[in-house]
Structure 1
Amino acid sequence: MTAYFERLSATAFHATEAVQGAWNTSEQHIAPTIGLLAHLVETDRDARRDDPLVLARVSYDILGVLPIDAVDVEIRVIRPGRTIELVEATLSHAGRPAVILRAWLMQTADTTAIAGGALPVMPPLDSHAEWQAGAVWPGAFVRSGDFRHREDEPGRASAWVRPHHPLLADERVSPTARALGVVDLSNGMTPRVPIGSAFFPNVDLTAHLFREPDEGWIGLDTTVTFGANGVGVTHSVLNDEAGPFGVSVQSLTVRPVAPRD
């Protein structure tokens, strides 16, 4: 079965053509990389500890574009602790850092009696129409999943996503890492302007998670905002079919395309 990445060694991975990007089809879509780094942080945790710390916040800085090629990942513990850790993962191509993740891992506890919140619950899967993301965006990655979509207006929509391929060949990946591997799609689910009239790639992604999602459809309840100064924000409430499990935010660099004469 095709996967987004194949393991070459303990620290090296090769991206497959399934990660082909939307802004430039000769580059990787960053979404699978975000999931891969989350998985590798969890794998490193499991090799070091036998108690269940969970990913509570993941913050990715995207330092540059990535060709569809081999990459290397280095992980280090910045702040060790018995109940809380801060871990950093750096993904590089040809010796150049391209994505840096800083992740807070926290202990679990039974807080069922006080659990709850006011985040909006997404409309259910069957209230969304089937959607072909590949009709809006180029690249293999956006064609490698099932989509259900409902748009209120440009820049405001909800979408359910289910990837076709595993994140990493021949390796079990947690539901959290799997879900994080599609969260970056939020920025393309509801463009505020027609594709081609402006570029609005994200330079980062931060997700705060308060529970592990299930292994089914992943919901992105998304709002995109452009400021008047070339900076924008994409905000999403992350859902599974049981309701919200976290939120994500992306910082955008908004670059209008000058009209041709």
Structure 2
Amino acid sequence: MTSETRDSAAFELDRETPAFYRRLGPGRYAPTVHVQGAWRDDEQHMAPVSGILAHEIDLHEPREGMQLARISFDILGMIPARPSRVEVRTTRPGRTIELVEATMLVDDRAVVRAHAWRLAAHDSEPVAGVELEPIPTPDAMAPWTGSDTWEGGYIEGLEFRVDAERRPGRTRAWIRALNPLVDGETCSPTADLVRLADTANGIAVRVSPREWMFPNVDLSVHLFREPARGWVGFDTRVTMGPTGLGLTSTTLHDELGPVGRAEQILTVRPLPRA
């Protein structure tokens, strides 16, 4: 990342807490340096933000037998690295299908809005089947230093394994976070996976982020079963069109196999020069 895109007077983030966030109260969080964004020092990376929204959705009116099937995020602007508040409400209640909305606010301004479908669990084992291809295990891939490509505290707090045959626009990789989502709290395996899903846009870059910007303005995660906790696998393709649009498409995995899909729409433009 070049100095033109990084803020020279960054907000002073907590460097002591070994987690992405410290809880300040119900729905209120203080970000640590481990959420620091890739484009600016004074922003939160979308990956941990999506995790904290998923965590708050998990905590909202939980019911036995309900499972998160899809969660989509709209990024409403830069996410300042300052104390945040999450508001959650059920917008479509139901006995077996419900829609929940969560909004993160910073300084009383909405910065990210999430919508999650929770569906009732049923026994579908007799018809279960997966057509998505598995990927090699983490042990079969080589370590990769993400901070060689990206800056920011979020990237520095991740461990990567990548396919030796990776190329611009196409890679398979495994990622795990070195720190928990919230200090002193255990989150669901689903929130643990969601907090890493946005990283897909940074592991198969088609062009150098030192020359081009290609941030995503949304993230949508679809799951067909609850993930297992641990490494999260990415089978990712990045497509860029000729008029400033791009798409990052990923099959998500846990160590048991494919678990769902993620999509991100990108705005592609040359990096501004001073």
TM-score of the pair, normalised by structure 1: 0.95
Cα drift, residue 259 of structure 1: 7.6
In 2, Cα distance between equivalents of 1:228 and 1:68: 33
Q: Is contact 2:101-2:113 (8 Å) kept? A: yes
State the alpha-carbon separation in 2 of the partners of residues 156 and 259 from structure 1.
28
Distance in 1, Cα, partners of 2:156 & 2:123? 40
Q: What secondary structure, in the 3-state scheme, does the structure 1 residue paired with 2:25 have?
A: coil
More divergent stretch after superposition (31-40 vs 1-10):
1-10
1:32-60 CA-partner distances (Å, limit 9, x unpaired): 010110011011132xx3x2211100010
> Does 2:259 align with 1:234?
no
Which position in structure 2 is the counterpart of 1:208? Answer: 222
Deviation at 1:127, TM superposition (A): 2.3
149-158 vs 237-246, which deviates more?
149-158
Q: Tell me, what secondary structure is at the counterpart of 1:159? A: strand
Match of 1:93 in 2: 106
Supply the distance in 1 between the matched residues of 2:184 and 2:273 (Cα, whole angstroms).
47
- Name 1:176's counterpart in structure 2: 190
Structure 1 residues without counterparts, runs of 5 or longer: none
Q: Deviations over 1:156-175 (max 9, x none)?
A: 00110010100011111001
Match of 1:253 in 2: 267
Residues 1:129 and 2:142 aligned together = yes
Aligned counterparts of 2:219 and 2:27: Cα–Cα separation in 1: 23
Report matched runs for 1:61-76 at 5 Å: 61-76=74-89
Distance in 2 (CA, whole Å) between partners of 1:257 and 1:14 is 30
Pairing 1:150-165 to 2, within 5 Å after superposition = 150=163, 151-165=165-179
Q: Distance in 1 between matches of 2:52 and 2:209?
A: 28
Q: Quick check: 1:221 aligned with 2:238?
A: no
Instruction: Render the CA deviation track for 1:111-158: whole Å, top value 9, x for unaligned.
Output: 112111211111222221100001110001111021001243200001
Residues 182-197 of structure 1: matches in 2 within 5 Å? 182-197=196-211
Runs of 4+ in 1 over 6 A off after TM superposition: none
2:26 and 2:157 map into 1 onto residues whose CA distance is 26
SS in 2 for 1:7: strand
SS in 1 for 2:252: strand
Q: Would you say 1:15 and 2:28 are equivalent positions?
A: no
Q: Which residue of 2 aligns with 1:54?
A: 67
> Partners in 2 of 1:101 and 1:44 — Cα distance?
13
CA distance in 2, matches of 1:123, 1:8: 40
Deviation at 1:195, TM superposition (A): 2.1
Does the CA-based 8 Å contact 2:27-2:56 persist in structure 1?
Answer: no
Partner of 1:45: 61
Q: SS at 1:102's partner residue?
A: strand
Q: Provide the aligned C-alpha RMSD in A.
A: 1.3
Worse overlay, 246-255 or 192-201: 192-201
Gaps of 5+ in 2: 1-16
- 1:33 paired residue number: 49
Total equivalences in the alignment: 257
* Separation (CA, whole Å) in 2 of partners of 1:17 and 1:258: 25
